[in-house]
Amino acid sequence: MDEPVVKLENVWKIFGARAEEAMAAVRSEGIGKPEVLERFNCVVGVQGATFEVPRGEIFCIMGLSGSGKSTLVRHVNRLIEPTAGKIEIMGQDVSKISESELRRIRAQQIGMVFQHMALMPHRSVRDNVAYPLEIRKVSKSKRWAVSDHALGLVDLTGYEDRLPKELSGGMQQRVGIARALASDPEILLMDEPFSALDPLIRLQLQDQFKALVAQLKKTTLFITHDLDEAIRIGHRIAIMKDGVIVQIGTPEDIVMNPADDYVREFVQGISKLKLVKAHSIMEPLASYSGPTEGAPRADEGADLDQLIDLAVNTELPVIITDGGSDVGVVTKPRLLRGIQGGKND
Amino acid sequence: MTDATTELKVTAASDIEVDRDALDRSIHEFAGPNGDYYVNAFHKIHDATSAVPNTFNKWAAALGPFWSASRAIWGMFWTFLILEIIAWVQIGRGAWGNPGADMAERAERQQARANELLERAAAATEQGDIDRFTKLAENIQRAADSSFEKAAAAQSESLGIMLTGLVMLLVFKLVQGLYADRIYEKQYSRWRIDPDSTESGRSTRNTVLGAVLIAAIGPLIVYKFTVNASLAMLDAFPEKEVSALFLGEDGGTLFSSLASWMEAKIDAAALAGGDVFDGIVAGVRSVLDALTIALIGSPWPVVMLVICVTAWRAAGPRVAIFTAASLAYIALLGYWDVAMETVALVGAAVLLCVVIGIPLGIWFGKSARAYRAAEPVLDLMQTLPAFVYLIPIIAFFGTGNPPGILATIIFGMPPVIRLTALGMRGVPDSIKEAAVAFGASKWQLLKDVEIPLALPSIMTGVNQTILMCLSMVVIISLIGGGGLGKEILEALQYAAKGPGLLGGFAILFCAMVIDRIVQGAFRREDEKI
């Protein structure tokens, strides 16, 4: 049960008529994106992407437009064929399976949500949600029941017989999510699902989605161009630039230890208050020599926000505990540096 | 980055000096030979603030179209070539032409006729005849005199004509001289934007081409219009002589041999594919027969009721009332059977168009290559006048209703194909991708997504096809098609105004009823989505 649900190994995608030649040249000569464009007139979409997503994790792929994130995620259900590399879903190599088996996996194991909803305008909300089941030739009574249940999960009970155009953008995207959930898939692929919505609705949907996925334990690949969204939703985040995955890590990892200047620039504007935990900024109790008498205590999982609340009322540092025993202290200078993003002096 | 030389300075627009070096180099590059002159001229044009030309290109004035050709200003070349030729024709007519010649000739003829009449008057015995002939002769004599006068007047005008020509030529030259640099500067501006497809400089090719065009066009036109007795060679294409060149003296004309060759080929093809063509005709006939039985075989009250109810359900009560009135007109004037035959003809044609056209349209919508290949054929089907393909249709399929339906299909099918293809291409990629992502097969994608989303466009195509088919009703009667078209054709042959108009109204009502019903039905369909 511990094998990853989705596993990509050195996946490459090169677009263009001479993709094979270009791939061979990349392998033998190690040429980069500009040379491939110049010599073969091919565009490199994804360069050597490797990652694993364990069961139940929300894995965010973050990058600006054109960074290859949508291309990458479409490899998982083979909407795009990789030029090179291996893709496994629950231990099964998707590039080796037959056309009909692929359709079965798409219909049963993978749900997908699109940026522009992509609902069928001529079908009712209920029939839209039931479409993945209809493809699998599930009986009408069964698929209506399932689709009503899925609509209930996204709080859309009562809208079953409406046409998509009668619903607001946020509601339409909830229909999209219900459709992705209808066939009870193992994997959810979310392609910038909330990008086209206005900020308030987006926040609401993010929370709703996070709760829903935690409850249903779906393995999720979530694409976004918004780092805030990635941090809110993702257990782990992969940052992409020009088709390369620059860094993979937990939100805290990424914010505290950006891999390069590109990531650092992104992370700069992010508020660290809720992200950075005490254990990553504390100094060991042993090396601290100041007074600790009467100092407030906090768990090592406490975030900066909580530490600040404790620190404002005292001149003393905050003592950090782990399971009841004191392990370290957070002094004022460390706290302030932590808010800045963990710069050490 | 910001040292003294690259420091950004903001200067008022009035203080900015024009930097001419880069501009001069570019003009030199554009103009090629004689660049200095054009640099100078373009500067003057660029500095000018009024629309009045301030340069004079003496070469353009002297050489006229030859100059514009050498500089590849083809619009100016053709305009002034034509204008200068008109001036030259005037000069030629004045100098060596005979302006009053045709008038003088007519005067001679009238004089001769008058003399002849006078002779007859002299020879006549009865008083009435003498008076009549004398009267006629006098009239014609007067006409002859006036013609002589006009001829003389035209003669005396020849100097005037020549002077007009000279003045015209002078004006045209002047205009060319004054505007040549301005027009050339426009070409320069175009060249700066698009140097690859705008000609520049002076090339031998253009110079020679211009010279050849002027030499070929000018003298011939001036000759033809100034000399009264022109060469036969120039008046009509020497088709017989050219034919003889290819086929020998007794080989007949190119036309006759080519026509008979094609006739033989068509006959052979019709004979060789006889079974196939007969099969097609039989297929079409079976569709037509089924519709005919339904429309004419059924008792007329049933058909009428069904049509009226259909109109009501599809398009509402107003159309239903209009339909009932139209049907009453048709029935009362005894057109019922022929009208139903027309409806059967159109219906069969539309049915076949839709059955063949929609799958083709789906294919063309999916394959850009197939569509590119088919597009010229579709264009041809729509633009070719129906009369042109009626003849091969007779050759291959004979005459009567089924060949008429085939002719109707040729004309009526393109819209449904085109609009189906258009609708298929208009289906958003995101929705198609979503269906595929949920495991839809190609067939499911087509059935559940593409066709439903393309349906409004397909319906528009079907509607267009129905109207096109209706417009062929009269034409197919030329190859033996029946129905109301035949009535019209017969009325046309005998110039029978009454029957023709009545039949025409019957066709009009048929067309309007069908159009209203179909449009009403599609409008309701559209409102659903």
Q: How many domains does chain B have?
A: 2
Same domain, A173 and A141: yes
Same domain, B454 and B306: yes
Same domain, A227 and A94: yes
Q: Is it the case that residue A316 has pLDDT exceeding 60?
A: yes
> Is residue B403 one of the residues assigned to a domain?
yes
The per-residue pLDDT for B320 is: 93
> Is residue A9 one of the residues assigned to a domain?
no
How far is Cα A77 from Cα A121, in angstroms, rounded to an integer? 24
> How close B428 gets to chain A, by Cα (Å)?
8
Residues of B in contact with A77 (CB under 8 A): 437
The enclosing domain of B485 has a CATH number of 1.10.3720.10
- Size of the A and B interface in Cβ pairs below 8 Å: 61
Same domain, B173 and B35: yes
Same domain, B65 and B184: yes
> How close B315 gets to chain A, by Cα (Å)?
22
Same domain, B457 and B387: yes
> Is residue A4 one of the residues assigned to a domain?
no
> Is residue A5 one of the residues assigned to a domain?
no
Contact, B68 vs B61, CB < 8 A?
A: no
Q: Do A114 and B434 touch (CB under 8 A)?
A: yes
Better-predicted residue by pLDDT, B499 or A197:
B499
- CB atoms under 10 Å from CB of B499, counted, come to 15
Same domain, A261 and A284: no
How far is Cα B452 from Cα B430, in angstroms, rounded to an integer? 15
Residues of B in contact with A104 (CB under 8 A): 439
Same domain, B215 and B298: no
Closest CB to A118: pick one of B434, B441, B529.
B434
Q: What DSSP designation does B293 have?
A: I
Q: Is it the case that residue B307 has pLDDT exceeding 90?
A: yes
Q: Per residue in B434-452, pLDDT tens? A: 999 998 999 999 999 999 9
Q: Does the global pTM surpass 0.80?
A: no
Reported as a pLDDT band with limits 50, 70 and 90, residue B389 is confident
Q: Is it the case that residue B66 has pLDDT exceeding 60?
A: yes
> Is residue B256 one of the residues assigned to a domain?
no
Q: Per residue in B454-465, pLDDT tens? A: 998 998 899 889
> How close A48 gets to chain B, by Cα (Å)?
24
> Is residue A7 one of the residues assigned to a domain?
no
Residues of A in contact with B449 (CB under 8 A): 120
HSE, side-chain direction, 13 A CA sphere, residue B80: 28
| Domain's final residue, options A245, A268, A291 | A268
The enclosing domain of A214 has a CATH number of 3.40.50.300
Question: Which of B127-136, B260-269, B368-377 bottoms out in mean pLDDT, i.e. has the lowest?
Answer: B127-136
Pairing of β A92-93 and β A84-89 = antiparallel
The dihedral formed by the CA atoms of A161, A163, A169 and A175, expressed in degrees to the nearest 10 = 50
Compare all CA atoms of chain B with the CA of A109 and give the residue at the minimum distance. Answer: B438
Reported as a pLDDT band with limits 50, 70 and 90, residue A277 is confident
Closest CB to B439: pick one of A115, A121, A135.
A135
Q: Is it the case that residue A345 has pLDDT exceeding 50?
A: no
Question: Which of A148-152, A262-266, A319-323, B239-243 bottoms out in mean pLDDT, i.e. has the lowest?
Answer: B239-243
| Domain's final residue, options B234, B255, B275 | B234
The per-residue pLDDT for B385 is: 86
Q: Is it the case that residue B526 has pLDDT exceeding 70?
A: no
Pick among A78, A109, A116, A138 to test the B interface (most B CBs inside 10 A): A116
> Is residue A283 one of the residues assigned to a domain?
yes
Whether the CB of B496 is below 8 Å from some CB of chain A: the reply is: no
> How close B437 gets to chain A, by Cα (Å)?
6
> Is residue B406 one of the residues assigned to a domain?
yes
Same domain, B316 and B398: yes
How far is Cα B77 from Cα B72, in angstroms, rounded to an integer? 8
Q: Can you give the three-state secondary structure of B425-471, one letter per residue?
A: HHCCHHHHHHHHHCCCCHHHHHHHHHHHHHHHHHHHHHHHHHHHHHH
Same domain, A261 and A283: no
Q: Per residue in A74-113, pLDDT tens? A: 998 888 888 888 898 888 888 888 888 889 888 888 999 9
Q: Per residue in A29-38, pLDDT tens? A: 878 788 888 8
Same domain, A150 and A294: no
Contact, A151 vs A129, CB < 8 A?
A: yes
Q: Do A121 and B436 touch (CB under 8 A)?
A: no
Q: Do A79 and B433 touch (CB under 8 A)?
A: yes
> Is residue B254 one of the residues assigned to a domain?
no
B:402-421 residues touching chain A, CB 8 A cutoff: none
How much of chain A exceeds pLDDT 70, in percent?
A: 98
Residue in the block written with tokens 């935990």: A277
Closest CB to A132: pick one of B430, B439, B455.
B439
> Is residue B412 one of the residues assigned to a domain?
yes
How far is Cα B210 from Cα A103, in angstroms, rounded to an integer? 67
Q: Provide the domain limits for residue B108.
A: 17-234
Q: Provide the domain limits for residue A233.
A: 52-268
> How close A303 gets to chain B, by Cα (Å)?
40
User: Which tokens is A138 given?
Assistant: 């599930």
Residues of A in contact with B440 (CB under 8 A): 103, 135
> Is residue A30 one of the residues assigned to a domain?
no
Same domain, A218 and A99: yes
Q: Is it the case that residue B1 has pLDDT exceeding 50?
A: no
Q: What is the mean pLDDT of residues B121-143?
A: 82
Q: What is the mean pLDDT of residues A213-236?
A: 88
The burial of A70, by beta-carbon neighbours within 10 Å (0-12 exposed, 13-18 middle, 19 or more buried), is given as buried
Separation in Å, CA B217 to CA B93, B224, B239, B362, B468:
17, 11, 21, 52, 45
Same domain, A155 and A232: yes
Closest CB to A132: pick one of B428, B438, B453.
B438
How much of chain B exceeds pLDDT 70, in percent?
A: 95
Whether the CB of B443 is below 8 Å from some CB of chain A: the reply is: no
Reported as a pLDDT band with limits 50, 70 and 90, residue B315 is confident
Same domain, B230 and B297: no
The enclosing domain of A291 has a CATH number of 3.90.1280.20
Reported as a pLDDT band with limits 50, 70 and 90, residue A2 is low
Which residues are bridge partners to A35 per DSSP?
A: none
| Domain's final residue, options A221, A249, A268 | A268
| Domain's final residue, options B234, B259, B274 | B234
Q: How many domains does chain A have?
A: 2
The per-residue pLDDT for B2 is: 44
Q: What is the mean pLDDT of residues B510-522?
A: 86
Whether the CB of B526 is below 8 Å from some CB of chain A: the reply is: no
Same domain, A126 and A80: yes
Same domain, B208 and B335: no
> How close B456 gets to chain A, by Cα (Å)?
11
Same domain, A249 and A334: no
Q: What is the mean pLDDT of residues B43-65?
A: 85
- Give first-to-last CA distance, chain A, whole Å: 44
Same domain, A170 and A310: no
DSSP 3-state assignment of A98?
Answer: coil
Q: Is it the case that residue B527 has pLDDT exceeding 70?
A: no
The per-residue pLDDT for B11 is: 67
| Domain's final residue, options A213, A243, A268 | A268
The per-residue pLDDT for B229 is: 63
Same domain, A333 and A220: no
> Is residue A10 one of the residues assigned to a domain?
no
Give strand ranges (E) for B332-418: none
Same domain, A171 and A230: yes
Closest CB to B438: pick one of A116, A122, A131.
A131
- Give first-to-last CA distance, chain B, whole Å: 61
> Is residue B266 one of the residues assigned to a domain?
no
Same domain, B424 and B510: yes
Residues of A in contact with B439 (CB under 8 A): 103-108, 132, 135-136
Q: What is the mean pLDDT of residues B102-124?
A: 83
Q: Is it the case that residue B170 has pLDDT exceeding 90?
A: yes
Same domain, B42 and B175: yes
- Residue B203 backbone dihedrals phi, psi, to 5 degrees: -110, 150
Q: Is it the case that residue B13 has pLDDT exceeding 80?
A: no
How far is Cα B155 from Cα B153, in angstroms, rounded to an integer? 5
Q: Do B529 and A121 touch (CB under 8 A)?
A: yes
The whole-chain average pLDDT of chain B stands at: 86
The per-residue pLDDT for B290 is: 92
Q: Is it the case that residue B409 has pLDDT exceeding 90?
A: yes
B:210-249 residues touching chain A, CB 8 A cutoff: none
> Is residue B244 one of the residues assigned to a domain?
no
Residues of B in contact with A135 (CB under 8 A): 438-441, 444
How far is Cα B274 from Cα B96, in angstroms, rounded to an integer? 66
- The DSSP-derived string for A78-89 is TSS--SEEEEEE
> Is residue A12 one of the residues assigned to a domain?
no
The whole-chain average pLDDT of chain A stands at: 86
Same domain, B104 and B178: yes
Pick among A71, A115, A120, A165 to test the B interface (most B CBs inside 10 A): A120
Same domain, B443 and B314: yes
Compare all CA atoms of chain B with the CA of A124 and give the residue at the minimum distance. Answer: B529
> Is residue B274 one of the residues assigned to a domain?
no
